[in-house]
Structure 1
Amino acid sequence: MPSQLARNVYLRLLASHGLLRPCPSLPGRCLAVSSRAAPSPLLARARRQPRRTFFGVFQKPPRMLKEPELEPGYDVLLHYRSLENDSARPPAREDLLKGWRQFVQHKRKNHQRPLNSTQAFLMLRLLHHLVATHPETDAQDEDLSFTDLRAALWVTVTKPPKGTTEHHLELAELLYGEIERRIQTMRELGIDEEVIKEAVGAKDTGDFELYLTALTQYGGALRAAEKLAEFRATLAQEDKKLVARVRVFWTLILRGLAKEGREEELLAEWKKAEAAKVEYMPPVHEIMAGFFAARDRVDETKHWFEKPIHANWLRSPKAYMEAVRFALRNGEQQWLQPIFEQLINSNPQKEWWDVIFQWSVLVMDKGVEDVKQMMQVMSAQVAGGKDGKESPKPDAATIDALITAAIEKQNPYLAERFLSLGAELKIRPRASTYILQMDYRLDAKDMSGVQAIYDKLLKGEVNVRQDEDLPVVNKYLRALCALPEPDLDRILNITADLEQRHATLEPETVVSLCMVFLHNDNQYEVIDTLSLHTVSYSLEERAQVRRAFVEYCLDRRVSTARVWDCYSLLRQFFPETSPQERVRLMDAFFARRRPDMAAYIFGHMRSNDNLAQRPTADMYVRCLEGLGRCPEGGGPSIDGEGMGMGEGGGAGESLRMVHNMLKMDATVQMDTRLYNALMVAYAAAGEPDVAVDEFWRDITNSAEGPSYASLAIVFWACELLPYGDRTAREIWQKVQRMDLEVPPDVFWAYCGAIAGSGHLEEVVRLVRGMDASVGYGPGMMTLGVAYNALPGSDRKEQFEAFARAEYPDIWAQLEKKGRKETLRGTKFNIVRDMKA
């Protein structure tokens, strides 16, 4: 039960950015579902307890839903944020500290799962509270220690997440600032520096290095440069140990500036470093040369790559590989040739030989036999134990490097040959070798070969560390889902294996799995997938999955039943779905001629506890216009088609429901557009009398008054109303007395109102006298609306004879639209775009 509550807390938090209510019966817990909101019908069915009967003894037990597992302490962070948004009293400080420590320690032990942006934000909010308040007693357990702050800073820095990192930067700033504030307070109290060092418990500059790492990693490299300048200003020249650390700090800043693409600042900072006697060491060479190589700046890349390195140190293997890729992109293979020849003649260690092998494959186009000869050269160069060194020998890392080169060449056959070379040399493959093998077999669409390698990993033939296989397993699952006929059994077996490992799938993989399950009506599997994985996602990752569900609902190729099931899951698992996305879903059901479902979606928006999620006046108008396009009760829709369920019958249940919501919504003020939309909906639902007698009256009595859209709509309502021509003439006379300019849609609506009561001669006079009365002649819609509105085939035939004779070109355009038989007689296929 606690895990289910925690999941619901998280969902509700995302829905309202923290709008939660504490549960009175469960201290420290929150309910995710409002007392006014009913649970999803789909999930309600899934959790319903079966009735026991005699014949049910031997039946298969019902499918149980899988409960998600929140990371330890995460529920405390969620709960605090929910209460903070409600301006409610926070939990006891000791409970908050316990949750904080649990979460941080879990992240330290499981650092393969990065701190995502939402988790960083929740930590930031709780830390603000803990720093701003003080424990009621002097108990050490009731306050954050230096160790707690440092552990949190380490977690913030260790593994950057995908997506936004602004909260990581703020969190790092606050953590380091609190450490420095406490140290400064101790100094102001006159405490000896040695005592402070012992109390802090960190290595010299250890916290500062973590802080600089956070700044340079999360977009704050310029601030890091400022902090380093301040640090150097306070640094004693005789402290050689700290002076040496400054070189490391400068490397961090240069790397951060390069990552942010700040060329001008990067060059300026290197000049400062040179002036401070910082040597051009391999890490600096790698940063500077790599920066320009990544941008294909040929001259600058050559300058920085060829620049002599301090003490004739070798360039890093990574720098050499960057140069290889740069040369391939820019046709600079000849420039690279002497560089690698020099590297080969320098008797390098094996890490550099692995790069040499990759260069020979990628640039020199060497094959397996050529590489074998190069391996013999490698082993012979330092044979005999010169300087006590053993001759380097190829190992699993060498085979991995060769396979990687073959993958970059998009040559899976060559990769297989390199794998066979490893077996020939009796090199035992490691997990990374199998992972690479799965990768290139996936690219080659060799699914059976991929499954064979996956089975080896599953059997434990090699030791997989820290979920290093998860990226390729995710890729494998997506490939299985992309097949024309996905193997559901294989997919479920793999997901079950990952579930036992408590592994979290990537958002792209969750999307692929859910789409396959939805297409195969496996709603339970969708529920399990979302429950187990999305609960630990950041808002950005959840949005990626949510958008896929929305797009599935908008796909007209998917059946309405499946779309509604998908929407039910979307509503249950993604309450943060924006009003704009919900309106798109509402429009999609209107397009499917399901106004009842569209109205339910609107109702879900209206019942949301979060005011930001509730519908606006524009959304009410959009919903009512949709009900006008496809009325629920079978009345004549705007386009004249109706729903084929009989004539009239009164306003549908959906319209009544939406109208009642509007009446009760204190946030929406009635105006002409809303009255217009109500006229459209009620007229379409078979109650044109309500549209004219109630809403038109409200419009005319309002300070805003009617718009041109109001006139077009009320004339259309008069067309549907018995003896509606009387009201239409009254309104038309007022328009003429006011000497208003009449748009074409208003005029042809008035013609329709007169024609709807059967006054053929008057309609003909109106059409003939258009130039004199409104200043323009008839168009296709003028003739089409009048024809469609006339009752009886005789009148239609007479009007057609008149129009053919006097307006043959316009009538010919109308004929191209085609006609259809309706309960109201023959009508042209024209659409009256009636907007409020």
Structure 2
Amino acid sequence: MRSQLTRHVYRQLLAGRGFLQPCPPALLPGRCRCLSTTTLTTSPSPSPLTCAAPRPLQLVVRHPSRRTFFGVFKKPPRQLKEPDLEPGYDVLLKFGSMEHEGARLPAPGTLLVGLRRHIEFKKKSQKPLTPTQASLAASLTRHLVDTAPEGDEAGSLTLADLRLALEVATDPPKGSTEDHLELAELLYGEIRRRTQSLPDSADLCEHVEPAQESPADSSIHSDFSLYLTALAQYEAPVKAAELLSEHCAKLRGDKARYKEAKSLWPIVLQGLANEGLEEELLQTLEKATEAGVEFKPIVHEIMTTFFAERDRVQETKQWFKKPIFSKVSPTPETYAELVGFAVRNNEQQWIRPIFEGLISSDVPKATWDVILQWAVLAMDKGVEDIRQLINVMSTKRYSGNAKRRPAPDSTTIDLLIQAAIEKNDSYLAERFLSLGSELGIPQESSTYLLQMDYRLGAKDFGGADVIYQKLKTGEIQCWNNEHFPILNKYIRALCTEAEPDLEQIMDVTSELEHRHAVLEPETVVDLCMVLMRCEQHYEVIDTLALHTASYSLEERGEVRNAFVQYCLDKKTSTARVWDAYSLLRQFFPEMEAAERVQLMEAFFNRKRPDMACHIFGHMRAQGNTALRPTEEVYVMCLEGLGRYPDAESLRMVHNMLKMDATVQMSTKLYNALMVAYAAGDDAPAALQFWSDITNSAEGPTYNSLAAVFWVCEQLPWSGDKTAREIWRKMQRMDLEVPPAVFWSYCGALAGQGFLEEVKRLIRDMETSVGYAPAAMTLGVTYNALREYDKKEEFEAWAKDEFPDVWASLARRGVQVTLNGPKFKIQRPIEA
């Protein structure tokens, strides 16, 4: 068999790449020891410092390939989930970020497409804009309007875009509505500007005859109606009332349009009622009446409900009894509000004849549903009584068309179940569900959701899971995501268990995430707290990344506050607190400075000054000046280092202070530095800050004196000299000496071994400073003494001179340290 190795060696030799060792590169010609003097290949002349012989390549040893099963079945690294942003929202976020940073904005076409996609998605999904989205949309709309070239309809927002955005902006959000109001005013202002410039339009229907009404005029009325709705429901109903009053005054001569304008008064009245503006509500109703608005059922509902919600008994009765225009009956919503009002205020007897009269009248099916609720809530009727009422409803003779006879349906059963849930009676709710089956009423998705609701209220997780599995498999069809709230409640209920079923929790959460649902803030809070306790950090990160990006600032604040409270909980381990803080820093950069300071103090209290100073460093690195540390925060951090010393952290904070041009040095800062360095056993460095204080225009404070005496206590050999000089100066100035300064001076002398002088000072306290020695005076002096025999001598003297004071000090206990026994006293040395 031919040797493959031999053939490989010959090929190397023929190529001039034999096994000769390369010459040293600095070897001069003529001194080369290479054996080969000729080459088989032509090469350029060698340089004076290069060997003429070819440099052989090293032999490449080919190792045989090996296969191993180790690592074949290893799981791939965990991939974090990306936030599921709504269409176009990424463009809004990018615009907001770049505008805030003053960076170059994306192309107008990109911004326009992003805004259109987002508004169209909101319209199609019937989801309201969050306050953050409304704020970004307002900023982007203003930018597009201001930068749009004249006459370029294709490359700018059209009138249809503005009207669609205004329609979306009138859908009220959860939380603050200030940004929605700003967006609505901006959109309506631009719509009004453009419609006034159209040749075939009029200014809000002015100078247009009824017969000449055009589609453009109808659109203008719709624009005004939407804008009025926005004002009424976004905390500006008074302004809406003024605009509507002016609008109606312009249309006095146009009956058709005046009639349309009159229909807008209930919108304003409802807005005033929602804001609780009673005086303005009554005045506006009077204006509306003068303008020809009849007291129709909707107005009757607004006024009766306003006083019923506030449990104003007499006013509720008066407004409910007020005759309605054309003797029409009140709305079912009014009767429903009346039931709740009567239960809260024990007025069941007052509403009883009202509902008994309804039973004998020709009322629509919606009112019959309220009658059944009244029987359950106010009259405390059971299933059999409700069955009889349903028979009365179904067999009652109705005048006119027999098709008007109401029949119970799934809505009837739903309302009965809701009444049972309101009474917190899950057994009654279950019986109403059985009643629906007996009557042959098929269960709708809403019935199943109510069933899951009352089972959760009864802690029947097995029964709730049965409904959930049907929702998961599609056996129960929910077309408009109406099951999202109850599934959020299901997750929260599972999280509140003493031993949460983590597998079931994650199953429900995954199902919602699969359907692109954004969890409610309360759900995210409970879920994250459970996952943190179970050490499921990746799941916490995924949950925050998926859901908090779509939250408003208020909703984000709710989650952030929960994490802050988790960190401040003393029962939480330090490692978990640091993990929670890391998540706060990553997902909530808007975390307020006060919250960061709270977390810093929490780590100091946990005796982790290194972690506390890391939080301080993160504040110092913030680009937002509102989040950067102030003089007060510097002082708090240095005082923390005074309680729990850490030399490396102190150097870091001091260097930050030196480089911070926004903070001016003051006596308080010098005091804090002196305390921190003294606590870190660097008394000489601490004493340098006393020189800075005495040379400053502000001068020392009593805290400065207490701190410098503490420094003198620690100074080797020379501390008493500095302390005596300061004390003599205080006596010459005839300064009042607070107890903290006096016992600090005693500690300074005791730390240098001058026991007799300290005894004399304490004995003459009442004469020199005006008060007797206390436990702190004796305790600080005893702790400052370094020698055992002097501690024993001072103890014997103090027991003899001040037995009661020493006894109170002894009750605090003694701890053994490297410097001998010391009393367990908290010595407050503040900046």
The question of a shared fold, defined as TM-score above 0.5 by the shorter chain, is answered with yes
Shift of 1:54: 6.8
Specify the SS of the correspondent of 2:815.
strand
Within a 5 Å distance, the mapping from 1:40-51 to structure 2 comes to: none
Question: Is the 1:505–1:533 contact (alpha carbons within 8 Å) kept by the matching residues of 2?
Answer: yes
Count residues with an aligned counterpart.
Answer: 759
Specify the SS of the correspondent of 1:817.
coil
Question: Is the 2:528–2:540 contact (alpha carbons within 8 Å) kept by the matching residues of 1?
Answer: yes
Shift of 1:598: 0.6
2:162 to 149, 159, 170: 149
Where does residue 480 of structure 1 map in the other structure?
494
Shift of 1:116: 1.3
1:172 and 2:184 aligned: yes
Where does residue 241 of structure 2 map in the other structure?
225
d(CA) in 2 for partners of 1:376, 1:237? 53
Of 582-591 and 734-743, deviating more is 734-743
Where does residue 59 of structure 2 map in the other structure?
none
1:550 to 564, 568, 583: 564
Where does residue 720 of structure 1 map in the other structure?
714
d(CA) in 2 for partners of 1:538, 1:360? 42
Give the letter for the 1:183 counterpart: T
Where does residue 571 of structure 1 map in the other structure?
585
Give the letter for the 1:229 counterpart: S
Where does residue 521 of structure 1 map in the other structure?
535
Structure 1 residues 237 and 451, CA gap change in structure 2 (3 angstroms): same
Where does residue 804 of structure 1 map in the other structure?
799
1:309 and 2:324 aligned: yes
Specify the SS of the correspondent of 2:401.
helix
Shift of 1:569: 0.7
Shift of 1:90: 3.0
Shift of 1:621: 0.7
Within a 5 Å distance, the mapping from 1:406-421 to structure 2 comes to: 406-421=420-435
1:211 and 2:227 aligned: yes
d(CA) in 2 for partners of 1:235, 1:214? 22
Specify the SS of the correspondent of 2:821.
strand
Where does residue 682 of structure 1 map in the other structure?
677
Question: Is the 1:94–1:141 contact (alpha carbons within 8 Å) kept by the matching residues of 2?
Answer: no
Where does residue 736 of structure 1 map in the other structure?
731
Q: Deviations over 1:745-776 (max 9, x none)?
A: 11110110110111111111111122333232
The TM-score normalised by the length of structure 2 is: 0.88
Where does residue 120 of structure 1 map in the other structure?
134
Cα RMSD (Å): 2.1
d(CA) in 2 for partners of 1:800, 1:204? 93
Where does residue 350 of structure 1 map in the other structure?
365
2:700 to 673, 698, 706: 706
d(CA) in 2 for partners of 1:199, 1:244? 17
Shift of 1:603: 0.6
Give the letter for the 1:726 counterpart: K
d(CA) in 2 for partners of 1:307, 1:698? 80
Q: Deviations over 1:664-697 (max 9, x none)?
A: 11111111111111111111111111101x2112
Q: Deviations over 1:525-568 (max 9, x none)?
A: 10000001000001111011001111111111111111111111
Where does residue 108 of structure 2 map in the other structure?
93
Question: Is the 2:639–2:676 contact (alpha carbons within 8 Å) kept by the matching residues of 1?
Answer: yes
Question: Is the 1:675–1:699 contact (alpha carbons within 8 Å) kept by the matching residues of 2?
Answer: yes
Greater relative CO (CA pairs within 8 A, separation 6+)? 1
Question: Is the 2:247–2:261 contact (alpha carbons within 8 Å) kept by the matching residues of 1?
Answer: no
2:441 to 427, 445, 451: 427
Within a 5 Å distance, the mapping from 1:175-574 to structure 2 comes to: 175-186=187-198, 200=216, 203=219, 205-240=221-256, 242-382=257-397, 386-389=400-403, 391-574=405-588
2:667 to 653, 666, 672: 672
d(CA) in 2 for partners of 1:743, 1:454? 69
d(CA) in 1 for partners of 2:478, 2:264? 34
d(CA) in 2 for partners of 1:565, 1:89? 36
Of 455-464 and 790-799, deviating more is 455-464
Instruction: Choose 1 or 2 for highest CA Rg.
Output: 2
Shift of 1:200: 4.8
Q: Where in structure 2 are there 5+ consecutive unaligned residues? A: 1-66
Where does residue 24 of structure 1 map in the other structure?
none
Shift of 1:449: 1.2
Shift of 1:607: 0.9
1:769 and 2:764 aligned: yes
Shift of 1:386: 4.6
Q: Where in structure 1 are there 5+ consecutive unaligned residues? A: 1-51, 633-651
Shift of 1:188: 11
d(CA) in 2 for partners of 1:479, 1:548? 17
Percent identity for Structure 1 against Structure 2: 60
d(CA) in 1 for partners of 2:503, 2:483? 21
d(CA) in 2 for partners of 1:824, 1:54? 61
Q: Deviations over 1:600-632 (max 9, x none)?
A: 111111111111111011111100110110112
d(CA) in 2 for partners of 1:613, 1:331? 53
1:140 and 2:149 aligned: no
Give the letter for the 1:281 counterpart: K
Give the letter for the 1:156 counterpart: A
Where does residue 49 of structure 1 map in the other structure?
none
Specify the SS of the correspondent of 2:728.
helix
Shift of 1:381: 1.3
1:660 and 2:655 aligned: yes
Shift of 1:311: 2.2
Where does residue 19 of structure 1 map in the other structure?
none
Where does residue 602 of structure 2 map in the other structure?
588
Structure 1 residues 370 and 190, CA gap change in structure 2 (3 angstroms): closer
1:826 to 818, 821, 828: 821
d(CA) in 2 for partners of 1:266, 1:727? 75
Specify the SS of the correspondent of 1:599.
helix
Q: Deviations over 1:442-489 (max 9, x none)?
A: 111111111111112222223213221122211111111111000000
Give the letter for the 1:234 counterpart: K
Question: Is the 2:228–2:240 contact (alpha carbons within 8 Å) kept by the matching residues of 1?
Answer: yes
Of 681-690 and 488-497, deviating more is 681-690
Shift of 1:69: 1.8
Question: Is the 1:153–1:176 contact (alpha carbons within 8 Å) kept by the matching residues of 2?
Answer: yes
Of 753-762 and 733-742, deviating more is 733-742
Runs (4+) of structure 1 moved beyond 6 Å?
Answer: 188-194, 196-199
Question: Is the 2:609–2:645 contact (alpha carbons within 8 Å) kept by the matching residues of 1?
Answer: yes
Structure 1 residues 690 and 737, CA gap change in structure 2 (3 angstroms): same
Specify the SS of the correspondent of 2:283.
helix
d(CA) in 2 for partners of 1:269, 1:193? 27
Question: Is the 1:621–1:677 contact (alpha carbons within 8 Å) kept by the matching residues of 2?
Answer: yes
d(CA) in 1 for partners of 2:520, 2:762? 65
Give the letter for the 1:141 counterpart: A
d(CA) in 2 for partners of 1:608, 1:583? 14
Of 424-433 and 341-350, deviating more is 341-350
d(CA) in 1 for partners of 2:611, 2:164? 51
d(CA) in 2 for partners of 1:334, 1:237? 50
Give the letter for the 1:145 counterpart: T
1:746 and 2:741 aligned: yes
